[in-house]
Amino acid sequence: MLEHILLGLLREQPMTGYELKKTIDSTVGFFYRTSFGSLYPALRRLEEKEYVIVEEVKGDSKNKKMYTLQKDGEVAFVEWLKQPLKSSKNEHLLRIFFLDYLDEEKQNFLLKEYQNKLKSERHKLKEVEKIVIGELEGITNPQDFYYRLSVLQYGVRHFEMELDWLEDIIRRKDV
Amino acid sequence: MLEHILLGLLREQPMTGYELKKTIDSTVGFFYRTSFGSLYPALRRLEEKEYVIVEEVKGDSKNKKMYTLQKDGEVAFVEWLKQPLKSSKNEHLLRIFFLDYLDEEKQNFLLKEYQNKLKSERHKLKEVEKIVIGELEGITNPQDFYYRLSVLQYGVRHFEMELDWLEDIIRRKDV
DNA sequence: AGGGGCATGTAAGCTGTTACATGATTTT
DNA sequence: AAAATCATGTAACAGCTTACATGCCCCT
């Protein structure tokens, strides 16, 4: 999955590994977390497959490496996009599925904790959304970023749905 | 993750690997898919950690093995439940995030395909929900299965939210 | 006799996590 | 002078996927 994200981001512009990590964190970070321990090996694999080329940045004391997307990488990326979707694993749900096994007190604690986490995530996401909307106003081709914005809105809706659902669970339990 | 699911299911009753797989498919299957290639090694690990014990079923020609939960396994399971939640990866969203890269026609095709898949999933889940509600009516302690039912309802709501969102995306695009 | 379901497993390969390691530059 | 950030990487380990391998039982 990471390889495809990297290819996708490199379509925009050449970047270093470090920049890619920062971009991931600030765009899809709310539903895809990664680490350098995954990222650098992934870049190496892309290099071996000749999906990207690497150039050491000259005149820079930090031995940066700039990655640039190649034709084959672009093809592989689009192929990935076209593949049929399969459902992914949701650990939250799994935990709640088994929640009957804890005592009342721990159940309530966990549910409240989950609720707080969701509220904070929703808040963060709304902030990001505001920033992105602001940025899109300044550019000439906002329609090119339609889906990026849509995903943020998905995130907000998702958190709202989960919060409603959690509220219902907590309320009905008390009855 | 799989190990914890197995421990959780074995709290109900001792089961064989094959039965565990069937139970997973019919309960959490809509958000957690697994295979025997993951399941049997996971059971082996649980055995090594002495979280479960194994007994060959006698008088059975199919060399079944029955797994029974042990005290340590129960403790490990509850510890997992109590851990703070971390966000999981969502490949659907990732794909949509990058959808700007396809041409209109392929975008529409993918979105429609996704929509159909969601509708079919929602339908399946509603069927499961009906069955579960029917089963719960026949037992004396339905409140013990409160969260299992709640997770199904979560699933339905989730699909409905995604369908609404997709509809909005498709509609706004056409404008 | 053949197909489908029951039942258990192995092997290769891929991807990811966590922790560790190094060193330069910038900020406080 | 210390701390944070920039920047790249390795190593050990864990876990998952897919494909393969085996064989029984039951039904038609």
- Is the predicted pLDDT of residue B13 greater than 60, yes or no? yes
Q: Output the CA torsion sign for B73, B74, B76, B81.
A: positive
> A173 pLDDT band (50/70/90 cuts)?
low
Is A85 close to B92, i.e. CB distance below 8 A? Answer: yes
- What are A17's two structure tokens? 């590994």
Among B1, B145, B157, whose Cβ lies nearest the Cβ of A91? B1
Q: Which of A13-27, A54-68, B83-97 has the lowest mean pLDDT?
A: B83-97
- Predicted pLDDT at A75: 93
Which tens digits make up the pLDDT trace of B79-121? 898 877 676 788 888 888 898 888 888 888 888 888 888 888 8
Nucleic strand D within 7 A of Cβ A62: yes
Alpha-carbon span A27 to A36, nearest angstrom? 17
Amino acid at B106: K
Nucleic strand D within 7 A of Cβ A30: no
Which tens digits make up the pLDDT trace of A139-170? 888 888 888 888 889 889 988 999 999 999 88
- Tell me which DSSP letter residue A77 carries: H
Alpha-carbon span A122 to B151, nearest angstrom? 21
Nearest C-alpha neighbor of A69 from the set A17, A7, A4: A7
**B163 and B112 Cβ atoms separated by less than 8 Å:** no
Contact status of A142 with chain B (Cβ, < 8 Å): no
Alpha-carbon span A139 to A12, nearest angstrom? 15
Q: What's the pTM value of the predicted model, to 2 decimals?
A: 0.85
What number of residues does chain A have? Answer: 175
**Alpha carbon A119 to chain centroid, angstroms:** 18
Nearest C-alpha neighbor of A82 from the set B112, B109, B174, B93: B109
- What are A99's two structure tokens? 């929640």
Contact status of A32 with chain B (Cβ, < 8 Å): yes
- In chain A, residues with a C-beta closer than 8 Å to the C-beta of B81 are 95, 98-99, 101-102, 106, 110
Higher pLDDT, A96 or B15: B15
- Chain C bases having any atom below 7 Å from a protein CB: 6-12, 15-21, 23-25
**A117 and A93 Cβ atoms separated by less than 8 Å:** no
Contact status of B93 with chain A (Cβ, < 8 Å): yes
**B7 and B74 Cβ atoms separated by less than 8 Å:** yes
> Can you tell me whether residue B54 is helix, strand or coil?
strand
Nearest C-alpha neighbor of A80 from the set B85, B121, B129, B94: B94
Alpha-carbon span B92 to A109, nearest angstrom? 31
Which tens digits make up the pLDDT trace of B142-168? 888 888 888 889 889 988 999 999 999
Higher pLDDT, B45 or A173: B45
